[in-house]
Chains A and B, each alone.
Chain A
Amino acid sequence: MTERLFTLAVWMSAALVAVVLVWVIGDLVRLGIPHLSLDFLFAAPRDAGRNGGIGPILVSTVLIIGVTLTAALPLGLMAAVWLAEFTTRGHALGKAIRLSLDVMAGVPSIVFGLFGNAFFSIYLGMGFSILSGGLTLACMILPVFIRTCEVGLAAVTDTWRQGAAALGMTRTAAIWHVLLPAASPAIAAGMVLGIGRATAETAALIFTSGYVDRMPESLWDSGRSLAVHIYDLSMNISGGDTAADAAALVLITLIVLFNMLAQWLSDRWLHRRLVA
């Protein structure tokens, strides 16, 4: 009897989560679809966003993510290569850097927002701008990106390092021509994970890239990201709910696409490791 009850409880908890998720997505689709159209994707918002579209907001979102990647990818990749290729287990500086990355991964996103506001917007004088928001997000995604790349590089078999050295290749050449290509699916997966995080982020952007929903003219302009747009429509604009649902649908679609891409890339990586 209790055996049956236990089994039932396990199935129920799984069913509960599934049902609620379907409920959430179903509601978003039901409420958002009527508002969704090609025009919605490209037009400028009118009437504080109740009508019109999300064109400038998509542009701002893309620009913010562009800034984020431009800043985080080279720096993160270099740090990951150093951690994976130039430090051994007991390396003191390596340990310190890994620890600080772990700590950074735990900092709440609103606190990144505070930091970005104080440092990029005010101290460095960037004001409320796409640049300031993008750089804040870059700080936020650095830990997860570096960690994914480092794990990917560490998983590359040592025989290639040896083989490259035995051919008299420099370590630089081995890393550039052999190890990084071999780890590229992991690097891409880390990148896509970072993009996903950045796209979903709201709290860190409210006080760094700001609210302005006009088409940005440069990176120094304030620009409203899609997530911030959803927040603003639902909280500050009465009658903005359907537009918010439609925007949320777009946001989820983007994120699901990114996740599928990440999954596909890491699967391919795993497959290649098995074959190799």
Chain B
Amino acid sequence: MTNYSESPYTLGSIDEAVACCAPKPQLKVRALSVSYGDRRVLETVSMDIYRGCITALIGPSGCGKTSLLTSINRLTDMLPSARVEGSVCFEGQEILDTTVDTLRLRRRIGMIFQKPNPFPISIRRNLELPLREHGVRKRSERASRAEQALRDVGLWEEVKERLDSSALSLSGGQQQRLCIARALVLEPEILLMDEPCSALDPISSAVVEELILRLRGRYTIVIVTHNLAQAKRVANYAGFFWMTERVGKLIEFGQCQRLFDTPAHALTQAYVDGVRG
């Protein structure tokens, strides 16, 4: 595996990361259902997302994990057919309320997608654009925050010579780390990660995984992953989703270790065993 001690990160070593032992819910998801048109894809999900912890969502494709994430940052607003019911409470405030300013909400809840999606502009502008959009007027402040974000994701040394070249010229793993930096530069409180490693080669995947571990404690992270070993390595909490009659449901939620070692539900047991065996 990667040698952690030699990496140029500024977030401190993994051992220093804040342990997740005082579970304080930051997001309270209650009876959340998502439909596209007439089709319900996710039904009555209730769970708590704990501050500073990493929560892994696992389960087969199509059971609505992405839909859950996009409901939390209201990206579902972009799809005219999507309908979200229930409640998501973020520090005492209802996210699904139509009066919520989604732009500010998304600044506080960042998202990383499965396929890295840096904009087809320079590396520097990728980072400074969101800052400018959120009212950071001073150029020097934008530059220093961009540099900090790049250092946080361990990309600074790799790209500092070519900040003005296209972000698309980076490798897949570098692009994904750039996307993480782009989300971090806005100093969000929660990071939603939708299979952030599944489009990457194994080495880049390990680098990103290590990065996620370093973010623990500083950010609340919700990560969807198909890699159970990865979920076990990084997560404090885990939720298992399954489809019954083509509708996704949250089957089991709990401490990650517990969920993998002694699943309470037969489906969880079968899934964990099946993927492992």
Contacts and interface: CB of A to CB of B under 8 A. Distances in A.
Instruction: Tell me if chains A and B make direct contact, with any CB pair below 8 A.
Output: yes
Contacts, number: 71
A61 B248 CA distance: 64
Contacts of A161: 78
Contact of A166 (B104, B106, B168): B106
B42 interface: no
A168 B183 contact: no
Contacts of B106: 165-168
A163 B119 contact: yes
Interface in B118-140: 118-121, 125, 129-130, 133-134
Interface stretch (B107-115, B141-149, B151-159): B107-115
B186 A167 contact: yes
B183 A167 contact: yes
A167 B179 CA distance: 10
Interface in B178-231: 179, 182-183, 186
Interface string A150-174: 0000000101111111111110010
Interface string A264-276: 0000000010011
Interface of B: 73, 75, 78, 80, 102-107, 110-111, 113, 115, 117-121, 125, 129-130, 133-134, 168, 179, 182-183, 186
Nearest to A157: B117
Contact of B117 (A163, A169, A177): A163
Given A165-B75, A168-B186, 14 more contacts: A159-B117, A162-B113, A163-B118, A163-B179, A165-B78, A166-B106, A167-B107, A167-B133, A169-B129, A173-B129, A173-B133, A177-B129, A276-B120, A276-B168
A59 B134 CA distance: 46
Nearest to A177: B129
Interface residues of A, number: 22
A159 B168 CA distance: 13
Contacts of B111: 166
B182 A167 contact: yes
Give 7 nearest A-B pairs by CB, closest first: A168-B106, A159-B117, A166-B111, A168-B107, A163-B117, A167-B130, A168-B103
A182 B120 contact: yes
Contacts of A167: 106-107, 110, 130, 133, 182-183, 186
18 contacts: A159-B115, A160-B119, A162-B113, A162-B117, A163-B117, A166-B183, A167-B106, A167-B133, A168-B105, A168-B133, A169-B129, A169-B133, A170-B133, A173-B129, A178-B120, A178-B121, A181-B121, A182-B119
A88 interface: yes
A159 B113 contact: yes
A162 B118 CA distance: 11
